[in-house]
């Protein structure tokens, strides 16, 4: 029974620092590509046996201290009534632009509309058998809204900002609906067996602190408050939030995910006691020679200075061209260098 990851989420002392990698199940692993070659990405997400298989791969191959459900943040948006494709980035055929578009969105019935997600969680709990805990996840309302309004990834996020500033009632109605969906979706994951929840706010950092506080914080706060989290810690990852952690912290949650633009020690000083941290190695360090990887792992551990409540991770998802042996080496370094 490896409880290091959950213990660290709750700020309890651990024998060595737990580690996992955002997007640890994915294209950098030949074993993932072998499964993925047989179907599309969405088919993989919707086939519980295969989704469970690729979720477990990094546990066996890298020796990480947690598994994460294999799915996508946009999976529950499709049954809201938005046709989704991956090419390979996500594309919605009909993006949300008007109040009528928002009103047409439905709140899915989780057991009926995303049964494959809940089934994947149940298979994973059975197959992991306590070896490592299982993390469930969802997108934060703002990041989901970005994709739903832009229709795909974006460089400038002009459409969502036009809506936010120019049609604030439409924006608010959309965010309310997404927040309600998200809460039901994540509570369904907890009920199915997810032992921690990570909320990915990949695009929260494109806003000024003032706009984050006004247009994002109320919704993420309502989401986190609405989760059944007495026994299930919540990790809140807002990419690009290093300069507004004091504001982002107000959303609540048990662990703050950090990207690599902030010094982990400085971040902990801002967040104060009572909140654990996760992060924050620059994902491109995994392209460096192993001597450099080791130095950088040590630097992040040194910034934490032995305080309880640190989960080691990358500052964002692992990149598809990383050599798997470097990821494995990084995990080993974390365990070796943090051993009590
Ligand atoms: O962490 C894990 O291993 C679990 C699986 C996971 C995926 N997506 C699988 C995936 C998780 C946690 C996500 C989250 C996700 N999805 C985020 C938030 C985290 C982040 O990276 O910022 C976002 C923004 C998305 C949306 C998304 N999905 C994009 C922009 C893309 C295309 C770009 C890319 O990285 O490929 C995806 C596709 C996707 N999601 C893939 C995987 C393994 C690649 C699909 C394939 O196999 O072709």
Render each residue's pLDDT in the chain as its tens digit; 340 residues. Answer: 899 999 999 999 999 999 999 999 999 999 999 999 999 999 999 999 999 999 999 999 999 999 999 999 999 999 999 999 999 999 999 999 999 999 999 999 999 999 999 999 999 999 999 999 999 999 999 999 999 999 999 999 999 999 999 999 999 999 999 999 999 999 999 999 999 999 999 999 999 999 999 999 999 999 999 999 999 999 999 999 999 999 999 999 999 999 999 999 999 999 999 999 999 999 999 999 999 999 999 999 999 999 999 999 999 999 999 999 999 999 999 999 999 8
Ligand 1 centroid to Cα of residue 23, in Å, is 7
CB 146 within 8 A of CB 154: yes
Q: In testing the pocket of ligand 1, which one of 28, 44, 72, 201 has its CB within 8 Å of the most ligand atoms?
A: 72
Ligand 1 atom with minimal separation from the 36 CA: 47
Cα of 107 vs centre of ligand 1, distance in Å, is 23
pLDDT, tens digit (0-9, with 9 covering 90-100), for 303-326:
999 999 999 999 999 999 999 999
Rounded distance between C-alpha atoms, residue 100 and residue 115, angstroms: 28
- Residue 241 CA to residue 316 CA, distance in Å, equals 12
How far apart are alpha carbons 311 and 304 in whole angstroms? Answer: 10
In ligand 1, the atom with minimum distance to the C-alpha of 22 is: 1
Domains and CATH numbers, the chain: 4-338 (3.20.20.210)
* 194-246 confidence digits (pLDDT tens): 999 999 999 999 999 999 999 999 999 999 999 999 999 999 999 999 999 99
Query: Which two tokens mark 97?
Result: 């632009």
CA-closest residue to ligand 1 atom 10: 72
DSSP E strand stretches across the chain: 67-68, 84-86, 90-92, 134-139, 196-201, 234-238, 255-257, 276-281, 310-314
Phi, psi of 280 (to 5 degrees): -145, 50
**What atom in ligand 1 is closest to the CA of residue 44?**
47
């Amino acid at each position: 029974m490896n409880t290091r990851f959950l213990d660290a989420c709750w700020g309890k002392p651990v024998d060595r620092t737990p580690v996992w990698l955002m997007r640890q199940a994915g294209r950098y692993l030949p074993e993932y590509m072998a499964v993925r070659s047989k179907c599309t990405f969405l088919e993989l997400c919707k086939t519980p046996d295969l989704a469970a298989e690729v979720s477990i791969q990094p546990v066996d191959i890298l020796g990480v201290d947690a598994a994460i459900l294999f799915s996508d943040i946009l999976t529950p948006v499709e049954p809201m009534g938005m046709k989704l494709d991956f090419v390979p980035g996500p594309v919605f055929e009909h993006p949300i632009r008007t109040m009528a578009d928002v009103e047409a969105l439905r709140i899915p019935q989780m057991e009926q509309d995303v049964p494959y997600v809940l089934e994947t969680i149940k298979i994973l709990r059975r197959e992991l058998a306590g070896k490592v805990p299982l993390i469930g996840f969802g997108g934060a309302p703002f990041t989901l809204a970005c994709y739903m309004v832009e229709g795909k990834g974006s460089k400038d996020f002009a459409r969502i900002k036009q809506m936010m500033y120019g049609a604030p009632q439409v924006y608010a109605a959309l965010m309310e609906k997404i927040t309600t969906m998200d809460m039901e979706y994540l509570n369904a994951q907890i009920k199915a067996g997810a032992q921690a929840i990570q909320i990915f706010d990949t695009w929260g950092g494109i806003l000024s602190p003032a706009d984050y506080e006004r247009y994002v914080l109320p919704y993420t706060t309502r989401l986190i408050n609405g989760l059944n989290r007495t026994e299930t810690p919540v990790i809140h990852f807002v990419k690009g939030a290093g300069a507004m952690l004091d504001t982002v912290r107000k959303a609540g949650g048990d662990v703050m995910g950090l990207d690599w633009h902030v010094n982990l020690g400085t971040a902990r000083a801002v967040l104060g006691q009572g909140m654990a941290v996760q992060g924050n190695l620059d994902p491109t360090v995994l392209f460096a020679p192993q001597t450099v990887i080791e130095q950088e792992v040590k630097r992040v551990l040194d910034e934490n200075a032995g305080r309880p409540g640190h989960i080691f991770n990358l500052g964002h998802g692992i990149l598809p061209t990383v050599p798997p042996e470097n990821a494995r080496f990084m995990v080993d370094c974390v365990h070796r260098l943090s051993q009590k």
